[in-house]
Amino acid sequence: MSLLKDAILSVTSQGDKAFIPYIMAGDGGLEKLKPTILKLQQLGVTAIEVGIPFTDPVADGPTIERAGERALANGTTLRKVVETLNSFADEITVPLVAMTYLNPILAYGVESFSAEAKAAGIRGVIVPDMPLEEREIIHPTLSDAGIDLVQLVSLTSTPERMERLTKASEGFIYAVTVNGITGARSSFANELEEHFKKIQSYTDTPVLAGFGISTPDQVKNFGAFCSGVIVGSKIVDSLVNEDWTTIEELVAAAKTAVV
Amino acid sequence: MTNEVKGRFGRFGGQFVPETLMTALQELDEAYDQLNEDSSFQDELRYYLKNYVGRETPLYFAERLTKEFGGAKIYLKREDLNHTGAHKINNALGQALLAKRMGKKRIVAETGAGQHGVATATACALLDLECIVYMGAEDVKRQALNVFRMELLGTKVVAVDKGSATLKDAVNEALRHWVTNVDDTHYILGSAMGPHPFPTIVRDFQRIIGDETKAQILEAEQRLPDAVVACIGGGSNSIGMFYPFVEDKEVALYGVEAAGKGIETGKHAAAINGGQTGVLHGAYMHLLQDENGFVQEAHSISAGLDYPGVGPEHSYLHDIGRATYVSATDEEAIEGVKLLCRTEGILPALESAHAISYASKLAKTMTPDEIIVICLSGRGDKDVHTISEALGGDLA
């Protein structure tokens, strides 16, 4: 059973698309985490991806990297994020997905992290620098705690890898839509639709598109051939500017993705 | 062999990279395995190493240094005499040839001191490959001469002003560049670190240092040395020197980390002596980090050792007790530079001077019929400004 998967399926079964915003925990101070999460869930997002800052975020583009630097400067750590989430866990109604590089989890201790993250409402974990081949270092412990380990599938993944990744991924499949790092982009390869169909053919776990999705049109376009989208850099920028209108438009686009 | 499971050195190593790079790493792994058994590739590499790089490099008996130390007999493996002035060309050339065989058009690399950047820029000029090198903004300042050399060689040098603006941040940017341009680009990693297969590839291209040393010392002394000493940042010259001796248990192996201002000050680059195990840049290894798993800045007077991690095979050799990891401070390295200049007329790189410094202590504990080989990994022309500044001069 996966709370994350259930949350996504309950949205898609009604004809809508899942929408998962990415926020950088600690950007603007950890005290912003609670109001941001409560407001996002009020807008009707499917789940929330909570980014943990890291000193060497090799998978992140400039927007999220800068947000991470600001969060680090505020003293944000994985432990403090988990503590903060735990302080209002009873008010959290959507599944949280932590996105963190591997080393902070190792330093935390995989067992303590799993137990404390679960108590804080974290239902899934994405580790961008840990491919399938290395996941035994944390997967059994997360699994025992009932936390999903979400795998990324990239455009460069071979069909053989794609099949293994999609079958192993828990909660949902994070389909990276570009070669490269996170961040807004204006154009996407035409073959993407085929790519998504291929991924979905291996599994009934929902496939979500992420990396570079920044406009309501892109939310709709991607929504047309997968179960939903993850929007990162645009949300991070909008939160910094307190531009909730942009966020509302993105969330709304997912609700009417199927025309 | 030290890697029984492919890509692993005991519990160290691995492939901790974004999924986008996994296919490229697997392609590289397969291509490298094939070329390793391809005699035409090996012949081509040997041809360039001999006629272009100037190998083999001498194993030089340092008579005056031996007297100065007053103990063991000292030999210097003269990697400073390679084309471009350091051991880095062994790997850069090998990987550039590999990239060419794999049909890649462009090369990306990181550099700390600039020696690997210059070596890569050189190999790319020679083989007509487009080249882009990422370098920490701090290092661009410290190593202006090498930046100019790279640009003369037709390479684009990009200064990285993120994080500590040194080698680790240059690796981050080079990895990002590779993730984004993985289709036509090969990443020439400069040290025996990073995700598999890089630690193995770099070691294999650098083991020529140890292989030659072994043959040369057997010819000169009819026996193996009692100790070999090499400096360690990521650890490429040292693993190249150590690897052929790993099975020769009578040869003690000493890796000298950069203790910066002293390990007790926290301002150092000694990952094994002053760090804990963790994951950075694709590998599980010893790493300078805080209790939250955040990577800490390394500090060393020598840009080439200024890295918070260490190659995973060194972590393994440390784990099993086969090699001994020690350290030398900035100040000791400067003394090492002065000493080698005055006794032998050789200006060593600040990196290599760490090995000289430790060898001076080690030699005194040994007898005149015992032998130490020091890997003199590079020459010090690039460091004259830094050395002048450290000595209170105003050349800088």
Q: Indicate which of A30, A52, A54, A58 best probes the interface with B, i.e. most B CBs within 10 Å of its own CB.
A: A58
Shared-domain flag, residues B330 and B212: yes
Residue B219 touches partner A, C-beta closer than 8 Å:
no
3-state secondary structure of B33: helix
Overall average pLDDT of the B108-121 stretch = 94
Surface-to-core class of residue A138, CB atoms within 10 Å of its CB (0-12 exposed, 13-18 middle, 19+ buried):
buried
B376 versus B18: the higher-pLDDT residue is: B376
Active-site residue B19, yes or no?
A: no
CA distance B271 to B306: 10
Domain boundary pick from B198, B218, B236: B198
Q: Are residues B78 and B221 in the same domain?
A: yes
Does the beta carbon of B180 lie under 8 angstroms from any beta carbon of chain A? yes
- Domain closes at, from B133, B167, B198: B198
Contact B19 A106 (CB under 8 A): no
B4: in domain: no
Active site residue A49: yes
Asked if B308 and B220 sit in the same domain, the reply is yes
DSSP letter for each residue of B161-206: -STTSSHHHHHHHHHHHHHHTTTTEEE---SS-SSTTHHHHHHHHH
Query: Options 2.30.33.40, 3.90.420.10, 3.20.20.70, 3.40.190.150; which CATH number does A3-149+179-185+207-254 get?
Result: 3.20.20.70
pLDDT band at B211 (very low <50, low <70, confident <90, very high): very high
Residue B110 known to be catalytic: yes
Q: What is the DSSP string of B49-100?
A: IIIII-PSPPEEE-HHHHHHHTSSEEEEEEGGGSTTSBTHHHHHHHHHHHHH
Per-residue model confidence (pLDDT) at position B143:
84
In a domain, B67, yes or no: yes
Query: Minimal Cα–Cα distance from B6 to chain A, Å?
Result: 12
Residue B360 pLDDT > 90: yes
* Three-point CA angle B36, B41, B46, nearest 5°: 105
Same domain assignment for residues B256 and B324: yes
- Mean per-residue pLDDT over chain B, rounded: 95
Residue B324 falls within a domain, yes or no? yes
Q: In what order do the strands lie in the sheet with B73-78?
A: B59-61, B73-78, B371-376, B227-232, B252-260, B323-329
Q: Is B177 on the interface with A (CB under 8 A)?
A: no
> What are the residue boundaries of the structural domains of chain A, listed by start?
3-149+179-185+207-254
Region at B61 (left for phi over 0; alpha for psi -120 to 50; beta for the rest): beta
- Residue B379 carries which DSSP code? B
Domain of B81, CATH number, reads: 3.40.50.1100
* B293 interfaces chain A, CB cutoff of 8 Å: yes
Q: What is the pTM of this model?
A: 0.94
Query: For A47-65, what is the mean pLDDT?
Result: 93
Instruction: Exactly one of A16, A27, A56, A60 is catalytic; name it.
Output: A60
Q: What pLDDT does A259 receive?
A: 47
Yes or no: say if B357 and B350 are a contact pair by the CB < 8 Å rule: no
Q: Would you say B291 and A112 are in contact if contact means Cβ atoms under 8 Å apart?
A: no
Q: With bands split at pLDDT 50, 70 and 90, how would you rate the model's confidence at B1?
A: very low
Residue B339, amino acid:
L
Among the options A16, A49, A116, A148, which is catalytic?
A: A49
Total structural domains within chain B: 2
Nearest C-alpha of chain A: how many angstroms from B300? 19
Per residue in B316-351, pLDDT (tens digit) is 999 999 999 999 999 999 999 999 999 999 999 999
Please give the average per-residue pLDDT across B300-311, as a whole number: 93
Summarised one tens digit per residue, pLDDT across range B365-388 is: 999 999 999 999 999 998 998 999
Q: Is B273 a domain residue?
A: yes
Cis amide bond preceding B197, omega within 30: yes
Contact criterion met (CB < 8 Å) for B168 and A161 = no
Task: Work out the end-to-end distance of chain A between its first and last CA atoms, rounded to an integer number of angstroms.
Answer: 31
Domain span at B296 = 56-85+207-391
pLDDT in tens, B262-273: 999 999 999 999
Q: Please, which pLDDT band fits residue B4 given cuts at 50, 70 and 90?
A: low
Q: Are B157 and B276 part of one and the same domain?
A: no
Residue B396 lies in a domain: no
pLDDT band at A185 (very low <50, low <70, confident <90, very high): low
> B282 at the A interface (CB within 8 A)?
yes
Q: For a pLDDT cut of 90, what percent of chain B falls above it?
A: 86
Neighbouring residues of B179: CB distance < 8 A, sequence distance ≥ 6: A58, A59, A179, A180, A181, B18, B20, B21
Q: What's the pLDDT band for A187 if we cut at 50, 70, 90?
A: low
Chain B nearest-CA residue for A177? B20
User: Between chains, do B17 and A156 touch, taking CB under 8 Å as contact?
Assistant: no
* Tokens, residue B238: 């040292």
> Is it the case that residue A108 has pLDDT exceeding 90?
yes
Which of B73, B77, B88, B214 is flagged as catalytic?
B88
Instruction: Report the 10 Å Cβ neighbour count for B127.
Output: 15
